[in-house]
Structure 1
Amino acid sequence: MKNSIILYTLVFALFLHSCKNVSLEEDSVPLAKVDRQVLTVKDLQKAIPDNLSENDSVAFSQNYINRWVKSSLLLRKAELNLTPKEKDVTQLLDDYRASLLIHRYQQKLLLQKYVPLITSNEIEEYYNQMSENFKLDKDIIVGIFIQVPLNAPNLKKLKKWYRSDEPEDYIKLEEYCFQNAQKFDNFMDRWVTLDEINKLLPKPLPKHPMFLDYNKFYETSDSTSHYLLSIRDFHKVDEIAPVTFVEDKIKAILLNKKRIEFIQNLEEELYNEGLEQKVVKFY
């Protein structure tokens, strides 16, 4: 019996996946029943996400039916064992509906009227006020990372160019890397954590606390490649992060504050509007 139900379910799941438009008669075909509660093909059809593969549709259908049965059994037990007072959830449903509608309206207004704009001055001001909150928990650097094959040509010139501060040498370095490098990343304009660099190396950088103080350049190799790292600047753990490293985080904080202010102002406007239009009355 159990196998036949599963087979029946699989057939319908495949059918629903291949054709979302089922007839009214097929809609009402039952898939499971708990006491007086019935799960129909139509119910399952509504639940199945679009664009699932056949195998995924089958797995989803089986899981959905099992969860529906278990949930229905729990609900049945709750109905049988709770007192009428305990089963009275009218107020909870009303409160939930009210909060849900308010939230949806706020989101609609945010989309329609709220234009987030965070200036660089606002970011700088917040950073200066709250800089102690932006201490680093990881070492960060700016620089250049290069990976080339062991047999790459002109390695001596490469090592000279990647250590140089001359614009002409950087142009030569860039041309060389475009032709020969397996990986070339110039991150002079952004901060990168040492964890990110370690993922690119055959072995992690030394963990000595003074490593960054005394190593502007780092080179290593494995059985296939040479790795070269130029460290042009750095900040270590527990130092205050540079503003450019935490800029996105500050933007998120300021945007959230502005959203809260927008909603608070909206509530105040609606309150005053309600008083003026005599919609609000106090007793």
Structure 2
Amino acid sequence: MSCKVKGPIINAVILVWMAIGLFSCNWFKTGNSNETGEPVIRVFDKYLYDSDLSAVIPEGTDSIDSTILVSNYVNTWIETQLMLHRAELNLNEDQKNFDKKLSDYKNNLTIYTYEQALIQQKLDTNVSNIEIQKYYTDNSQNFELKDYVVKARWLKVAKEAPKLKKIRKIVTSQEDEDVKTLEDYCYQFASSCLLEDTWLYLDEFYESIPLKTNNIEGFLKNNKSFEVESEQFIYLVYIKDYKLKEAVSPLELEKEKIKSIILNKRKLQLLSSIREGLLEEGISKNNVQYY
């Protein structure tokens, strides 16, 4: 770690460390009886006190790190005070009037915090598969694929792995018994495998399978199952399904996104309903009057 202290700040840092040397032992052991502490730096009418600096240094910090922490803090403090002083001189009263902005910010933050509490209490977060399917069907045009996707099954096994002939025969099978055989084989002999019906984007597929082709669309159309070899391994691959670019994305890939959309709509409806209810209540109780 390193720091650079330039110009008059060097003297400030020396003063800082003189102050810390005089007061630090008593500070950490008994606390500082002076509420403010001793001033060590002044910028115009603003003072930095030894108590401010003691608070910067965590107990147990070594001298080198303490020097860096204090130097950085001092530099920042001095620059801040100089900028504030210059800003005060150059901004007019309207520019320095932050009351409305602060009030608006506080109001917005208060309302937001209350709304989040209401959402936690009242929002139904259960989204059924029927709702997801309906939204997907009604808005399928919004789920256009930007890349190819494949639903693939694959096993990565050593070239000398046993029973490869049998595994080649059943790698495309949907029979429960064959799937169980594949699972057992993967557990015993595969370096890695994927047997679930999982959609993968092409980049994800390539991360697992070292397939090289200049025409992936044609390859997918003409190869339901294939093998790829590397120096040590054989990849047995079965493409159960695939989708081309610009086709409608499979529902399985969009489920979480759709769920988030549905929940966000519910949030907006809930908050709108609460606001409408408050307005009606305010008018009925004469807490809101139009003049």
Shared fold per TM-score greater than 0.5 = yes
Cα deviation, residue 281, structure 1: 2.3
Q: Corresponding residue for 2:252? A: 244
Give the one of 204, 221, 226 matched to 2:229.
Answer: 221
More moved, 140-149 vs 233-242: 140-149
TM-score (norm 1): 0.78
Q: Corresponding residue for 1:15? A: none
Tell me: CA distance 1:107–1:41, structure 2 relative to 1, closer, same or farther (3 Å): farther
Q: Corresponding residue for 2:93? A: 84
Give the one of 178, 181, 200 matched to 1:192.
Answer: 200
Cα distance in 2, alignment partners of residues 3 and 225 from structure 1 = 68
Does residue 143 of the first structure (1) align with residue 152 of the second (2)? Answer: yes
The answer to whether the Cα contact below 8 Å between 2:150 and 2:242 also exists between their aligned partners in 1 is yes
Cα distance in 2, alignment partners of residues 206 and 22 from structure 1 = 75
Cα distance in 2, alignment partners of residues 183 and 32 from structure 1 = 64
Instruction: State the one-letter code of the partner of 1:184.
Output: C
Q: Corresponding residue for 1:17? A: none
Q: Corresponding residue for 1:264? A: 272
Does residue 106 of the first structure (1) align with residue 111 of the second (2)? Answer: no
More moved, 171-180 vs 120-129: 120-129
Give the one of 113, 124, 148 matched to 1:115.
Answer: 124
Cα deviation, residue 60, structure 1: 10
Rg larger for: 2
The answer to whether the Cα contact below 8 Å between 2:53 and 2:70 also exists between their aligned partners in 1 is no
Tell me: CA distance 1:60–1:167, structure 2 relative to 1, closer, same or farther (3 Å): farther
Cα distance in 1, alignment partners of residues 33 and 118 from structure 2 = 43
Q: Corresponding residue for 2:104? A: 95
Write the deviation string for residues 195-215 of structure 1: whole angstroms up to 9, x where unpaired. Answer: 111111345565432221111
TM-score (norm 2): 0.76
Q: Corresponding residue for 1:168? A: 177
Cα deviation, residue 146, structure 1: 1.3
Cα distance in 2, alignment partners of residues 21 and 116 from structure 1 = 53
Cα deviation, residue 82, structure 1: 0.6
The answer to whether the Cα contact below 8 Å between 2:148 and 2:245 also exists between their aligned partners in 1 is yes
The answer to whether the Cα contact below 8 Å between 1:145 and 1:228 also exists between their aligned partners in 2 is yes
Cα deviation, residue 266, structure 1: 0.7
Instruction: State the one-letter code of the partner of 1:256.
Output: N
Counterpart mapping for 1:65-84 below 5 A: 65=73, 70-84=79-93
Cα distance in 2, alignment partners of residues 164 and 44 from structure 1 = 67
Cα distance in 2, alignment partners of residues 61 and 110 from structure 1 = 43
The answer to whether the Cα contact below 8 Å between 1:31 and 1:41 also exists between their aligned partners in 2 is no
Cα distance in 1, alignment partners of residues 261 and 229 from structure 2 = 42
Instruction: State the one-letter code of the partner of 1:155.
Output: L
Cα deviation, residue 63, structure 1: 10
Q: Any idea what SS the aligned residue of 1:281 has?
A: coil
Give the one of 138, 154, 158 matched to 2:167.
Answer: 158
Q: Corresponding residue for 1:126? A: 135
Gaps of 5+ in 1: 13-19
Q: Superposition RMSD on alpha carbons, in Å?
A: 3.6
Cα distance in 1, alignment partners of residues 230 and 34 from structure 2 = 64
Cα distance in 2, alignment partners of residues 158 and 31 from structure 1 = 79
Tell me: CA distance 1:33–1:3, structure 2 relative to 1, closer, same or farther (3 Å): closer
